[in-house]
Structure 1
Amino acid sequence: MGANHSHGPAAPSSRGTVWATLAVIVPLSLATLTALIWLWPPELTSTGQPPAGLQRVTGTITAVTLTPCPQEPPADGQPPGRQPPADPATCGDAKVELTSGPRTGHFITSGLPSGPGSQKFAAGDDVILIHTPGGELEVSPYQISDHDRSSPLWLAGVAFAAAVIAFGRWRGVMALVGLAITFVLLLLFVIPAILTGQQPLLVAIVGAAAIMLAVLYLTHGFTIPTSMAVVGTLISLSLTGVLSYAAIGIAQLNGITDESSFYLDVSYRINTEGLLLASIIIGSLGVLDDVTVTQAVTVTELAHANPGYTFAQLYRAAARVGRAHIASVINTIILAYAGASLPLLLLVSVGDQPIGEVVTNPVIATEIVRSVVGTLGLIAAVPITTALAALASARRATPDHRSLATARHRRRTDPLTDSVTRS
């Protein structure tokens, strides 16, 4: 009897646990859906097209003719001969076969982009060109703008999807569907709503809740552990938002750290401080759901393997797993931010500024606040989700299960008693 209890499947969730979970999840889902409909932005006029009179076309370079680079005049305050020379691979002309637009199949000649930071082009490269109708006769109306990366990106996307499906099978398919929903909500709701003047913080909270509900349930199923992960993520995300608001106020950050945020503030009158809060919340969600799902599943597996475990036993065992997980995830977060800010860190190193001036720079201070707040929310997610999942799973245990679990725990902690019993 004891062996059957210890190795058999865990008892199903109690009716009280199911109803208590539904009492939280259903209102949360309805509130998220209502807010999503209320805040959904009107259709925006697309601003992704080139200015009037310009046309974006594609082509393939068939030949490149390099010419000597002209000598650039010295910049203001710079002595002659000290200015950096142009890259010889960026000076010349390219013969391009057009692959789109009204002159598809025709060959044109365009000058190669030159100057600091210009890309290098070679025969066989797919490129994007800007066509200026009615341009001056001595200047080609076609100008090479950039590499055409459509095919490599499609290939990378197909390889990514194939790997996810091959390993995850049906769950991998659902993960891809959840990823598509994430992009749809970000591109059709979060970004347009902020551009239309909605409060960025409110939009981020509603968008993050919608993404969380859709992705977690699609990927992991409509189960009690998934619901515990959802509730734990929501509580941790709310705590992250409160900490972010307090940290930004204490550090006196206004969210303007680069040309993009400055342009949004000047041209669109967007609340950049709220935009910074929104970016912290959305960025934290990606790591939070990983931690909360892991903790909820860990507790469930422990309860399945040891149906007699009490709430305290489940919590302690799963918390040990959570601490190990957090230790590695924190390093991942810091390395991710360092990698994204590597050019800035190099400039700081070259400038040889004192460390006190470096960390108080608005750009560095913003990243520090983002990292610290995200890490605090992540740390809080472990005990919160573990406690919720343990509370839901411990109710499955019967008195016989608890007695058996207690006896096993005593045998593991008292080798002498265990040896006497076996003898």
Structure 2
Amino acid sequence: MRRRAVVLLSWILVPLAVLTIVAMALMWPSASTAPAQSGNPYAAAPGASIDSGKVLRTATEDCSLNTGGSPGTSCFVAFIEGEGQTEIPVLISPDIVQTRGVHTGDTIRYLNLSGLSAVTGVEANGPQYVFMDFVRTFPMGLLAVLYAVVVVAVARWRGFRAIVGLAGAFGVLGWFILPALAQGQPPMLVALVGSSAIMFGVLYFAHGFSARTSTALLGTLFGLGVTAGLAWWAVDAAALAGHSGEYGYQLLNMTQGMSLSGMILCGLVISGLGVLNDVTITQSSAVWELYELAPNTSTRELFTSAMRIGRDHIASTVYTIAFAYAGSAIPVLLMVSLFDQQLLLALTGSELAEEIVRILVGSIGLVLAIPVTTAVAVAVVKATGRPQARSVQDSPDAVHGEAAGHKVLDGV
């Protein structure tokens, strides 16, 4: 029975893994068919450059003094240390001043137009130095290091493997999924193949090769299939064209044959990967732990107990998905709330429809994956586990460990 369960898992997962590898090889982006690069959006024209520096001080001054602006108007200026102890006056745009502002000690990136007149031969009469963006390398790098340290400190070796697996997942995203979409490959196939490759690599690398991991992977692939099917239907039924975002038309101009609705479809599938992986591996582990505590529990009782945990997980994870997307869409939600229109029209408008469909599709796939994962885990653990020879009630020495014997699980 034990061998039969392991063989059955292999019969299902090995062909899926081979199919994923073959599909990736066939759809792997080719350099010859890649869309032409549009250039660096931060590149400067001849005679101009993009420089960075630390803010020494800030001031509100007459625009004609240092920035070449119109006399009589006030401008907010940040002074950057230049060569030879000089100060470079960088004009800060009003929207930055009204939001966060620029403060002493900030490191900023600015457009340097001081050498443009030497190239064009035309005397510049506007600002010579214009603010572009903040330099965020240090705080973001610090957060990344802190994240890695916390994960490794708490989860130890498994946490380290999870971080490496995450890097591999982004490698699949950057080297396969995104280039394949840009070259006009079928979005549904790209999403399924890329997501499956990520899950095969991440789960086995982080959690090891075991019946427990294979069970979670099977549940994850099932949820992935449900999510992909619902996403395929929802994108067409809800007429999600992909034109509402600020980058939609830019992508149409930069690529040939790329479907924006297909991009949304792929995004719907990929966005649910993390939380889907979370619930399936947790549910599979819960079944194994329950079996270890009570190996003589019947199949029905084990499934019922595990589903109690699964229902709690469903209740909490549904909130997680909804609030995660709501948090990322706060600017859109705020804009919609300021318009005088009916709630139903606002929710079904193009600004919010994509996020709502994303929440619903991901949640349905997540919820359905839990009972499937639980059922598979119960079947596998009952087949691969060897119950104790005597129950706890029959052996007073069971509490001391050795007398009652220990169950053995293959691959755990």
Give TM-score scaled by structure 1 length.
Answer: 0.80
Match of 1:343 in 2: 331
Cα 1:52–1:309 change in 2 (3 A) is farther
Which amino acid is 2:156 matched to? R
Match of 1:147 in 2: 134
Match of 2:214 in 1: 227
Which of 55, 61, 84 pairs up with 2:55? 61
Residue 65 to residue 157, structure 1, CA distance change in 2 (3 Å): same
**Structure 2 residue corresponding to 1:285, chosen from 255, 265, 273:** 273
Q: Does residue 97 of structure 2 align to residue 110 of structure 1?
A: no
| Code of the aligned partner of 2:104 | A
Moved more, 137-146 or 349-358: 137-146
What amino acid maps onto 1:130 in structure 2? Answer: L
Q: Which amino acid aligns with 2:302?
A: L
Q: Percent identity?
A: 35
* Amino acid in structure 1 at the alignment position of 2:15: P
Give the corresponding residue for 1:353: 341
> Does 2:40 align with 1:50?
no
Alignment check: 8 A CA contact 1:359 1:365 kept = yes
Q: Determine helix, strand or coil for the equivalent of 2:108.
A: strand
* CA distances 1:100-156 after superposition (whole Å, capped 9, x unpaired): xxxxx8856233222334562233221112344741354565433111111111111
**Residues 20, 52 of structure 1: alpha-carbon distance in 2 compared, 3 angstrom cutoff:** farther
**Farther-moved stretch of structure 1 (108-117 vs 331-340):** 108-117
Q: Which residue of 2 aligns with 1:301?
A: 289
Deviations 1:366-402 (A, max 9, x none): 222111111111110111100111110111356876x
Q: Is the 8 A contact 2:346 2:352 kept in 1?
A: yes
Worse-matched range after superposition: 189-198 or 126-135:
126-135
Q: Cα 1:141–1:380, aligned 2, differ >3 Å: closer, same or farther?
A: same
Q: Which moved more, 1:146-155 or 1:40-49?
A: 40-49
Take 1:336 and 1:63, find their aligned partners in 2: how far apart are those partners?
A: 38
Offset of 1:239 from its aligned partner? 0.8
Q: Secondary structure of the residue that 1:124 maps to in structure 2?
A: coil
Match of 2:160 in 1: 173
**Contact kept in structure 2, 1:64 and 1:95, CA below 8 Å:** no
Q: In 1, are the aligned partners of 2:215 and 2:373 still within 8 Å (CA)? A: yes
Instruction: Return the offset for 1:50.
Output: 1.5
Tell me if structure 1 keeps the 8 A contact 2:90–2:110: no
Identify the residue that residue 122 of structure 1 maps to in structure 2. 103
Q: Please show how residues 12-411 of structure 1 align to structure 2 within 5 Å.
A: 14-43=2-31, 45=37, 47-48=39-40, 50=43, 52-53=45-46, 55-68=49-62, 91-97=76-82, 107=86, 109-118=88-97, 120-132=101-113, 134-136=115-117, 137-138=123-124, 142-269=129-256, 270-396=258-384, 404=391
**Residues 61 and 208 of structure 1: CA distance in aligned 2, closer, same or farther (over 3 Å):** same
Distance 1:197 1:55 in 2: 35
> How big is the shift at 1:307?
1.7
Q: Closer, same or farther in 2 for the Cα pair 1:397/1:199, shift >3 Å? A: closer
Can you give the 5+ residue segments of structure 1 that lack an aligned partner in the other structure? 1-12, 71-85, 99-104, 408-423
Deviation at 1:160, TM superposition (A): 1.0
Question: Does the Cα contact within 8 Å between 2:284 and 2:377 map onto a contact in 1?
Answer: yes
**Per-residue CA shift, 1:258-313, capped at 9, x if unaligned?**
22123223442420111111001000111100010011111111122222223222
Give the deviation of 1:57 after TM superposition: 2.9
2:43 partner amino acid: P
2:286 partner SS: helix
* Match of residue 69 from structure 2: none
**Mapped partners of 2:63, 2:102: distance in 1:** 15
What is the CA distance between 1:18 and its match in structure 2?
1.8
Specify the alignment match of 1:75 in structure 2: none
Structure 1 residues 224 and 349: CA distance shift in structure 2, 3 A: same
Matched to 2:51, the amino acid is V
What is the distance in 2 between the residues matched to 1:51 and 1:42? 30
* In 2, Cα distance between equivalents of 1:376 and 1:131: 52
Q: Contact 2:268 / 2:362 at 8 angstroms: preserved in 1?
A: yes
Taking structure 1 as reference, are residues 55 and 216 closer, same or farther at Cα in structure 2, changes over 3 Å only?
Answer: farther
Q: Could you tell me which amino acid in structure 1 is paired with residue 81 of structure 2?
A: V
Give distance in 2, aligned partners of 1:239 and 1:252.
Answer: 20
TM-score, normalised on structure 2? 0.82
Query: How has the CA–CA distance of structure 1 residues 15 and 363 changed in structure 2, closer, same or farther, with 3 Å as cutoff?
Result: same
CA drift at 1:360 = 2.1
Using a 3 Å threshold, how does the CA distance of structure 1 residues 397 and 178 change in structure 2: closer, same or farther? Answer: closer
Name the CA distance, whole Å, in 2 between partners of 1:161 and 1:65: 40
Change (3 A) 1:106 1:182: farther
Deviation of 1:319 (Å): 0.7
Give the whole-Å Cα distance in 2 for the aligned partners of 1:281 and 1:399. 40
- Distance (whole Å) between structure 1 residues aligned to residue 263 and residue 145 of structure 2: 33
